[in-house]
């Protein structure tokens, strides 16, 4: 399938985060170069358009410019590209337009549609991840943002979920980042980094008298790894005052874990005040028989099965029975993927407890939620 892919060479900022999210919604893939170390990933991304800020075009960027048929550069002076800097001089023949920052995404989209040549190359996110790992840039590029969870009855915020993002390629899901092709040691280190951020936010919320749980994702396979389990127990012992404020959302994806081992570990973690949630229910290997032994306090319905219900492809009885099962166990249910008022209405019709999705907003950095975040 033909695809437009934009490489952004700029400083990391709220603007570049917004730009990535906006263009991806328009089905335009985006990757960023925030430092010379990101260029291996940029090559693997195989862009067909470059959007670059003048001050970020270092000598090391020249190779990228040579490889591309089209360059879009930003700047306040429409004549700046005639300067003498080497990367600019070598790219002069490729510059098709200049636009001042900040600009509306519509402006850039029009230029992309006008000049970009659709590529027939299949853009594999796994290749991009592999390039970051090879250049030892994966962990450095991971950031943690938090998305709110809301009560379905009145819309109030009842918690937050930590979401791992690649700051240079925000559209790649954590499931892709930590696939079977990724070394388990990298996944352990990245997940523990998220745990630290979650505990920091949970503590900050407590101190600001906003006591509500904060959750992190953990693949089931990690719970069978002694190195990870030992590290997690150590963190919980160090933060005993956060009991009940942290939730672990178990994901399974395509890697099947020994469910008995997972259940035993979850029971031990419960004794330290860590609540357990079943994430993305309705995908992969998840089913009621498989999760029945796990002492979960929450179950999250995957957005795909929820959207199928909204489109009348899954009967209400199917999801209703899952929610009834959870309520009989004393567990809460969360509907993921609520993006419209219709979704909200349908989620309420199911009788679920909480919801999460773009209807209430996107995930944000922790400093948006807590004042003086860096002071904690």
pLDDT tens-digit series, residues 167-203:
999 999 887 888 766 789 999 999 999 999 999 999 9
Domain assignment present for residue 68? The answer is: yes
Q: How far apart are CA 335 and CA 346, in angstroms?
A: 10
Co-location of 153 and 74 in the same domain: no
Domain with 164, as residue range(s), is 143-375
* Domain-ending residue, one of 123, 156, 188: 123
Co-location of 173 and 273 in the same domain: yes
Co-location of 157 and 76 in the same domain: no
Co-location of 110 and 229 in the same domain: no
Q: Write down the pLDDT at residue 375.
A: 53
* Low-confidence winner among 89-98, 310-319, 341-350, 355-364 (lowest mean pLDDT): 89-98
CATH number, domain containing residue 154? 3.20.20.450
Q: Which residues make Cβ contacts (< 8 Å) with residue 36, sequence separation at least 6? A: 58, 60, 61
Co-location of 184 and 106 in the same domain: no
Domain assignment present for residue 40? The answer is: yes
Q: Write down the pLDDT at residue 247.
A: 97
Domain assignment present for residue 299? The answer is: yes
Taking only the tens place, the pLDDT of each residue in 96-124 is 777 787 888 898 888 888 877 766 666 67
Co-location of 32 and 164 in the same domain: no
Co-location of 107 and 148 in the same domain: no
**Residue whose C-alpha is closest to residue 24's, from 362, 369, 367:** 362
More confident residue, 252 or 276: 276
Taking only the tens place, the pLDDT of each residue in 353-365 is 999 999 999 999 9
Q: Write down the pLDDT at residue 17.
A: 92
Co-location of 192 and 322 in the same domain: yes
In the chain, the percentage of residues whose pLDDT exceeds 90 is 56
Co-location of 173 and 116 in the same domain: no
Domain assignment present for residue 135? The answer is: no
SS3 per residue for 246-257: EEEEEECCCCCC
Domain assignment present for residue 134? The answer is: no
Q: Residue 294 — pLDDT band, cuts 50, 70, 90?
A: very high
Q: Write down the pLDDT at residue 39.
A: 87
Co-location of 106 and 9 in the same domain: yes
Domain assignment present for residue 131? The answer is: no
Q: How many domains does one find in the chain?
A: 2
CA 112, distance to chain mean position in Å, is: 25
More confident residue, 101 or 151: 151
Domain assignment present for residue 355? The answer is: yes
Domain assignment present for residue 138? The answer is: no
Helix intervals (H) in the chain:
14-25, 39-45, 62-67, 86-91, 105-115, 125-134, 138-141, 174-177, 184-207, 226-238, 259-271, 288-291, 303-310, 316-328, 341-350
Mean pLDDT of all residues belonging to the chain: 85
* Domain-ending residue, one of 123, 158, 176: 123
Asked whether residue 92 carries a pLDDT value surpassing 50, the answer given is no
Q: Write down the pLDDT at residue 77.
A: 44
**Residue whose C-alpha is closest to residue 220's, from 158, 276, 304:** 276
In the chain, the percentage of residues whose pLDDT exceeds 70 is 84
Asked whether residue 70 carries a pLDDT value surpassing 50, the answer given is no
Among 137-141, 155-159, 238-242, name the most confident range: 155-159
Co-location of 72 and 158 in the same domain: no
Taking only the tens place, the pLDDT of each residue in 1-21 is 457 889 998 889 988 999 999
Co-location of 214 and 356 in the same domain: yes
Asked whether residue 83 carries a pLDDT value surpassing 70, the answer given is no
Q: How far apart are CA 261 and CA 220, in angstroms?
A: 10
Q: Write down the pLDDT at residue 252.
A: 72
- Can you tell me the mean pLDDT for 258-275? 93
Q: Supply 130's token pair.
A: 């592999």
* Domain-ending residue, one of 91, 123, 155: 123
CATH number, domain containing residue 68? 3.40.50.2300
Asked whether residue 56 carries a pLDDT value surpassing 80, the answer given is no
**Residue whose C-alpha is closest to residue 369's, from 195, 190, 166, 206:** 206
CA distances from residue 281 to 177, 208, 290 in whole angstroms, order as listed: 20, 33, 11
Asked whether residue 281 carries a pLDDT value surpassing 70, the answer given is yes
């Amino acid at each position: 399938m033909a695809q437009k892919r934009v490489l952004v060479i700029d400083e990391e900022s709220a603007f570049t985060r917004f730009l990535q999210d906006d263009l991806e919604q328009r089905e335009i893939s985006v990757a960023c170069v925030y430092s010379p170390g990101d260029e291996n990933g940029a090559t693997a991304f195989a862009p067909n358009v470059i959007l670059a800020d003048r001050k970020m075009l270092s000598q090391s960027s020249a190779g990228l410019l040579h490889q591309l048929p089209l360059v879009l550069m930003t700047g306040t002076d429409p004549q700046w590209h005639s300067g003498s800097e080497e990367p600019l001089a070598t790219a002069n023949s490729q510059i098709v337009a200049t636009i001042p920052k900040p600009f509306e995404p519509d402006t850039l989209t029009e230029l992309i549609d006008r000049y970009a040549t659709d590529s027939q190359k299949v853009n594999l996110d796994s290749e991009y991840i592999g390039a970051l790992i090879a250049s030892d840039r994966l962990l450095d590029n991971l950031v943690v943002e938090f998305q709110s969870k809301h009560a379905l009855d009145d819309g109030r915020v009842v918690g937050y979920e930590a979401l791992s993002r690649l700051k240079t390629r925000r559209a790649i899901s954590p499931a892709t980042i930590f696939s079977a092709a990724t070394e388990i040691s990298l996944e352990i280190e990245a997940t523990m980094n998220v745990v630290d951020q979650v505990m920091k936010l949970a503590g900050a919320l407590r101190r600001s008298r906003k006591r509500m749980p904060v959750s992190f994702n953990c693949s089931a396979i990690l719970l069978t790894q002694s190195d990870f389990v030992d590290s997690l127990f150590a963190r919980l012992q160090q933060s005993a005052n956060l009991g009940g404020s942290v939730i672990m959302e178990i994901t399974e994806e395509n890697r099947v874990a020994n469910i008995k081992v997972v259940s035993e570990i979850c029971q031990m973690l419960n004794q330290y005040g860590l609540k357990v949630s079943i994430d993305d229910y309705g995908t992969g290997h998840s089913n009621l028989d498989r999760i029945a032994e796990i002492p979960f306090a929450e179950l999250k319905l995957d957005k795909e099965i929820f959207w199928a219900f909204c489109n009348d492809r899954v009967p209400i009885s199917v999801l209703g029975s899952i929610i009834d099962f959870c309520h009989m166990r004393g567990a809460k249910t969360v509907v993921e993927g609520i993006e419209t008022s219709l979704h909200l209405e349908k989620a309420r019709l199911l009788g679920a407890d909480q919801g999460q999705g773009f209807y209430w907003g996107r995930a944000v950095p922790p400093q948006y939620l807590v004042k003086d975040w860096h002071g904690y």
